[in-house]
Structure formats: structure tokens, C-alpha cells
Chains A and B, each alone.
Chain A
């Protein structure tokens, strides 16, 4: 009996049906945010679909590693970010086409339009790691420790990447302002 107990799979406390049900419930509840995050990170919705699907497969394969289901959101986000980074890196370098950035909306006033355009280009030019921290900070509105959890990086690395990314964006913003101002 003891020998048989020792051979039980780790997840024996939950039946297979219960495991699947829990996985489906949590994943489907998080799907919309995960898909939005992937779309913004990858700037391509079909790539984002594939990344989220990859993440779901990976999450299911590692389901037994999730000890506390209350931590699912951060755990799944981390897998999504990781899958997006893998996909983005596969397409780098050179896949970011700065000309592919949408131009400013026609009703934006001159200087603001130039600044937004400059920011768009600078955001598109960020590498996947720097883009990820900016997206998590400004779209998901996460703190540095929460970003560190979702990217698997140290807090110091997150701060450093945020600093570098913002420096790039600020430079683009300032340059666009000067250009926009001189055109008027």
C-alpha cells in the first residue's frame, strides 16, 4: 500500500477533470488581458494569437508547478511575456520597419502630431526586453516589483531597462518637438 502511494502522480489530489476545469476557468478568464498584452508587445495580432496559444500550452505542461491558483494571473502573464519575447527575438534584428508605423491622425495639431509620430517610431524601435517593461508599466500599470515578477528579471534590471527606454522615448519626443516647432 505504501509502495503504491509512493507511485501516485503529484496531482493525485485533483482529478484530471478538475485540473482541466481549473485550467480552463483561469485561462479563459485571463485570455482577454493576455491577448491584449501580447498584441501590444508584438504589434501583430496573428503573432499575438500564436504567442498566447504557445503560452497556454506551456502553462498546461507546467500546471503542477502552480501551487497557488491565486497567483495564476502573474504566473500566466510571465509565460505570455516570455513567449512574446521569444517570438519578437526570432524576428529580430531588422524586422522592425520604422516606416510601418502608423502616421499621426490627421486631426492632431502640428506639434502634437509630430511628437506622437516621434514617440510611435521610438516605441517601435525599442527591443523586445525594453518594450516589455514599458508596456507593463504604462499599459498594465504595474509597479517595478510586479514587472520583475512578470519578466523574470531582477528589479534593478527592470529599473535600468525602464530608464534606458524612457531616455530613448524622451529624446525622440524632444527631437520631434523641435522639428514640429520649426515647421510651424
Chain B
């Protein structure tokens, strides 16, 4: 779509939305608003408001404990699953590469699909997305002192509508949610970036700052889906027996 046509569409959107705009505020609403403090004061206080401060704290504590228990109940089975608790396409916590897992196995992969948008939500084409494997868990200062050791696994370029589809490694983390291993993978964007914000809830990777000198402004890379492809079988964590642990060299 040309920019002229796009501008025309935006103008039309605005005009159509404004068709629902009322001429003025009804007098009834003005009166209701002017009565709000009185009517709100006369109303019965809610159950929570009627409690003393100490009891409110108790109620909050119980609610927090209940919520934590609920989250643990839902999340633990997923996290303890040998495949990292990763049902196809479901958002959640994606652990790092498991210890001893063959990270160079080209046959088992994850496919992440998403799109790149600019600060106005418009698609951005031509952004190169590199999927890199960190050979060791990066520390906050490590990569500043010397370049981190990285292996590029894959690279894709966002299409004209901003969309992309990229192969990741099995159980490679887009975020280091679990760090119990020597491998660590990130979806990063080229040229190399140092600062980004990752939000787990909707797989939104926000790239801030001036890392993209060729782009007019900050961009956002949104991961829409994350699918195992093909379904992978991941070896379970090797749990050393007490005898093995005792003979481990010091």
C-alpha cells in the first residue's frame, strides 16, 4: 500500500471513529458527576475497606500465599517436564539448553514466528534477526570486557509486512529463564545489541536505544508463536547417584 493510500486510510479511520463522537455532555451526566463525592460517601464500604489495617494486611498475605501456591501448582509440572515443559506454541517459561544436549544437532529445532514493528506499530521490513548461541552463560560485565563467544545458528530477514519465521535450537531460551547449564541462547538482532528488554508474557522483545543506526527509530520484535519442529525428544537431566557424586574428582 502506498503511503498516500495509507494516509488516506488513517484519515478515514479517524473520521469514522469521530462519527460516534457525541455533540455535548448530557446534563444528566454532569449532575451525576457533581453528586459523586456525596453518593460515594453514602455507599456502604466494601468488605476490604471495612477491615482494620492489621486485618487488611492479613487478608493480603493470605491472598499472596494463595497466588504463589496456585502459580507453583500450574508452573511446576511444566518446568519439571523433561522437554522443558514446552507444549507447542504455548507461552511460558522456556529453559536454557539442557546439560549435555547436542546443540549442533540440525535435525531438531524450534520455529519462532513473529513480526517487527516500529514505534508507531508499523511493520519494519529488512531487519536481520540473528539467533546466536552463547557458548557460556554471559555475565552482566563479561561481554563488556571482551566479546562474548557466540555461534550464529540462523539468520532471517523480516518480510515486507514485518513478519519473520526463524529456527531456534531445541530448548534454546529466548530468555535465560533457567540457568542450570553451560549453554545459553538468545534471539538477538543484528548488528549486535547490548541492551534489550524482554517480556515473557507476550514474547515481546523490545530493542531500545541506538543499536540500529540504519533504522529511523527503535523497533520491537514480537514473537507470536514458538513451536517445536519437528517434535523433539530431550534426554532427561543426568542426575548423579550419591556414589558417583562421592567419587567426583576435586
Chain A residue nearest to B45 in the complex (CB)? A61
Stretch of A42-50, A81-89, A90-98 with 4 or more beta carbons under 8 angstroms from chain B:
A42-50
> A36 contacts B22, CB within 8 Å?
yes
Q: Which one of B18, B22, B162 contacts A139 once the chains associate, using CB atoms below 8 Å?
A: B18
> B40 contacts A60, CB within 8 Å?
yes
> A174 contacts B1, CB within 8 Å?
yes
Contact with B along A159-171 (1 / 0, CB 8 A): 1111100110110
Q: In the complex, what distance in Å separates the CA atom of A23 from the CA atom of B37? A: 8
Q: Which one of A52, A134, A160, A174 contacts B204 once the chains associate, using CB atoms below 8 Å?
A: A160
Q: Which one of A19, A28, A159, A169 contacts B119 once the chains associate, using CB atoms below 8 Å?
A: A159
Contact of A75 with B by CB under 8 A: no
Q: Which one of B12, B18, B36, B205 contacts A60 once the chains associate, using CB atoms below 8 Å?
A: B36
Contact of A175 with B by CB under 8 A: no
Given contacts A39-B22, A45-B22, A159-B220, contact A166 B29 (CB under 8 A): no
What's the least CB distance linking B51 to chain A, in Å?
Answer: 16
Chain A residues with CB under 8 Å of B21's CB are: 36, 39-40, 139
- The prevalent SS among residues of B at the interface is mixed
Contact of A154 with B by CB under 8 A: yes
Identify which of A24, A48, A134, A163 gathers the most chain B CB atoms within 10 Å of its CB. Answer: A163
> B18 contacts A40, CB within 8 Å?
yes
> B13 contacts A163, CB within 8 Å?
no
Chain B residues with CB under 8 Å of A161's CB are: 121
Q: In the complex, what distance in Å separates the CA atom of A24 from the CA atom of B10? A: 36
Chain B residues with CB under 8 Å of A19's CB are: 37
Interface size class of B (residues with CB under 8 A): 35 or more
Chain B residues with CB under 8 Å of A24's CB are: 33-34, 37
> B204 contacts A119, CB within 8 Å?
no
> A135 contacts B17, CB within 8 Å?
yes
Interface size class of A (residues with CB under 8 A): 35 or more
> B199 contacts A154, CB within 8 Å?
yes
Contact of B16 with A by CB under 8 A: yes
Chain B residues with CB under 8 Å of A69's CB are: none
In chain B, positions 178-215 with a C-beta closer than 8 Å to chain A are 197, 199, 201-202, 204-206
Chain B residues with CB under 8 Å of A123's CB are: 13, 16-17
Contact with B along A19-63 (1 / 0, CB 8 A): 110011001100110011001100101001100110011001100
> B37 contacts A156, CB within 8 Å?
no
Contact with B along A129-145 (1 / 0, CB 8 A): 00000110111000110
Q: In the complex, what distance in Å separates the CA atom of A56 from the CA atom of B31? A: 12
Given contacts A28-B33, A48-B22, A155-B206, contact A163 B17 (CB under 8 A): no
Q: Which one of B1, B9, B36, B121 contacts A27 once the chains associate, using CB atoms below 8 Å?
A: B36
Chain A residues with CB under 8 Å of B25's CB are: 31-32, 35
Q: Which one of B18, B22, B26, B202 contacts A157 once the chains associate, using CB atoms below 8 Å?
A: B202
What's the least CB distance linking B49 to chain A, in Å?
Answer: 9
Contact of B117 with A by CB under 8 A: yes
What's the least CB distance linking A43 to chain B, in Å?
Answer: 5
> B32 contacts A53, CB within 8 Å?
yes
Extra 12 A-B pairs, beta carbons < 8 Å, given A156-B199, A162-B117: A36-B21, A49-B32, A53-B29, A56-B32, A56-B36, A57-B40, A135-B17, A144-B120, A159-B121, A159-B220, A160-B222, A163-B162
9 intermolecular pairs with C-beta atoms under 8 Å apart: A35-B25, A35-B29, A40-B17, A56-B33, A134-B17, A138-B10, A138-B13, A163-B162, A163-B222
* Ranked 8 nearest A-B pairs via Cβ: A162-B121, A156-B204, A163-B121, A138-B14, A159-B121, A20-B37, A163-B117, A56-B36
